[in-house]
């Protein structure tokens, strides 16, 4: 099966083991947070990207360190995000901060960032440190921008593209470009992997945002409409806003009036906006798959393509 090419399962098993050892701490509250969130699983999409990109190149040195580093950055962001999102559940579990307070979540996230620094130092590659510096900068700017856009109601498709690129796509880009960097592969192959990660990340976030409103709570493992309740506009609400001025009002009152969310969903279905968003996601996923052209054929390349195409139809 294209989504599970040779060696992937073993790599992911080894990943879990190494991650667990890496985030050990003598401090009890840090261990509790990590049991709750970091080592509790999750889809491990970023480590998967690292593995596939590495093997599509015939294997890159330090692929495990890179996989750990990208996942640590992602996990730290989730911990720092719990404050923002106010999502009642994340990965189907009670959000960590409700149990131990915001402070412990934030500081446990900082602990993860320190471990990230440790694993990238192991590679001995300063170029990788610098790339993580850029990505971490863009990522934090993207998160703040999202907050700012909601606070100032500065809604636009341009801002939406900036946000999904900064908060999601650049880390996916590093996940797939990183193996080329570590292997010393330059030129169109490295560029192809970078472009794949960027487009894939955008498609991924567009799909997540779409499901946040249009999915089912059962499939998502959390209530729908989280973005609306935080006043965050996503592609679907932005396109709806262009046609129905009332949507801006719904966002302003954070979907608090009864029937607000159902109304948005109905408008999206009936106006064809839902279909339009699906079309744009599919388009982005196809760009990702097409970007891989310069790579030689391999089951790993196929698995990357399959991952991208999955975004065109994913329901959870």
Name the residues that contact its own copies, by CB under 8 A: 25-30, 76-77, 80, 83-84, 101-104, 106-108, 110-111, 113-115, 117-118, 120-121, 124, 126, 129-130, 132-137, 139-141, 143-145, 147-148, 151
CA dihedral 84, 90, 94, 98 (to 10 degrees): -10
Bridge partner list, 94: 89
Beta carbon of residue 114, minimum distance to its own copies (angstroms, whole number): 4
Q: How far is the CB of 275 from its own copies (least distance, A)?
A: 33
User: Closest approach of Cβ 73 to its own copies, in Å?
Assistant: 10
Question: How far, in Å, CA of 79 to CA of 102, rounded?
Answer: 9
Residue 131 or 301: the one with the smaller Cβ distance to its own copies is: 131
CB of 25 to its own copies, least distance (A): 6
Which residue's CB is nearer to its own copies, number 141 or number 276? 141
Query: For its own copies, which is the closer residue by CB, 140 or 271?
Result: 140
**Of 231, 230, 233, which Cα lies nearest the Cα of 210?**
233
**Of 135 and 285, CB closest to its own copies:** 135
Q: Kindly report each contact of residues 4-12 with a partner whose C-beta sits within 8 Å and lies 24 or more positions away, as own/partner.
A: 4/303, 5/52, 5/55, 5/299, 5/300, 5/302, 5/303, 6/299, 7/51, 7/55, 8/48, 8/51, 8/52, 8/303, 11/47, 11/51, 11/63, 11/64, 11/67, 12/44, 12/47, 12/48, 12/51
- Kindly report the backbone phi and psi dihedral angles of residue 41, in degrees, each rounded to the nearest multiple of 5, phi listed first: 105, -135
Smallest distance, Å, CB 299 to its own copies? Answer: 35
Q: Name the residue nearer to its own copies (CB basis): 9 or 86.
A: 86
Quote the least distance from Cβ 60 to its own copies, whole Å. Answer: 19
Distance CA 155, CA 159 (A): 7
C-alpha span between 231 and 255 (Å, rounded):
8
Using the minimum distance from each CB to its own copies, give the nearer residue, 104 or 291. Answer: 104
Residue with tokens 């050892």: 21
Q: Which is nearer to its own copies, 101 or 223 (CB)?
A: 101
Burial of 308 (0-12, 13-18, 19+ CB in 10 A): buried
- Which residues make Cβ contacts (< 8 Å) with residue 28, sequence separation at least 6? none
Least distance CB 251 / its own copies (angstroms): 18
């Amino acid at each position: 099966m294209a989504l599970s090419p040779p060696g992937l399962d073993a790599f992911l098993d080894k990943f879990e083991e190494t991650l667990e050892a890496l985030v050990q701490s003598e401090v009890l509250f840090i261990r509790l947070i990590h049991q709750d969130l970091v080592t509790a699983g999750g889809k491990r999409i970023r480590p998967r990207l690292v593995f596939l990109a590495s093997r599509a190149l015939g294997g890159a040195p330090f692929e495990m360190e890179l996989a750990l580093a990208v996942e640590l950055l992602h996990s730290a962001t989730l911990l720092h995000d719990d404050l923002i999102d106010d999502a009642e559940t994340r990965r189907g579990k009670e959000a960590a901060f409700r149990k131990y307070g915001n402070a412990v979540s934030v500081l446990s996230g900082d602990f993860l960032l320190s471990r990230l620094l440790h694993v990238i130092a192991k590679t001995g590659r300063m170029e990788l440190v610098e790339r993580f510096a850029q990505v971490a900068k863009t990522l934090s700017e993207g998160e703040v921008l999202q907050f700012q856009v909601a606070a100032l109601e500065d809604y636009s498709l341009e801002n939406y593209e900036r946000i999904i690129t900064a908060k999601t796509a650049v880390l996916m880009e590093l996940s797939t470009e990183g193996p080329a960097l570590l292997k010393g592969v330059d030129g169109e192959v490295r560029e192809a992997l970078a472009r794949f990660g960027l487009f894939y990340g955008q498609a991924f976030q567009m799909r997540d945002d779409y499901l946040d409103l249009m999915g089912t709570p059962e499939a998502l493992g959390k209530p729908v409409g989280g973005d609306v309740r935080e006043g965050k506009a996503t592609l679907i609400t932005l396109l709806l806003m262009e046609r129905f001025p009332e949507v801006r009002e719904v966002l302003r009152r954070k979907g608090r009036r009864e029937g607000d969310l159902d109304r948005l969903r109905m408008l999206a279905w009936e106006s064809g906006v839902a279909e339009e968003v699906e079309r744009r996601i599919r388009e982005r996923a196809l760009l990702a798959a097409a970007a891989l052209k310069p790579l030689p054929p391999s089951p790993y390349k196929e698995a990357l393509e399959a991952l991208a195409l999955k975004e065109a139809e994913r329901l959870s």
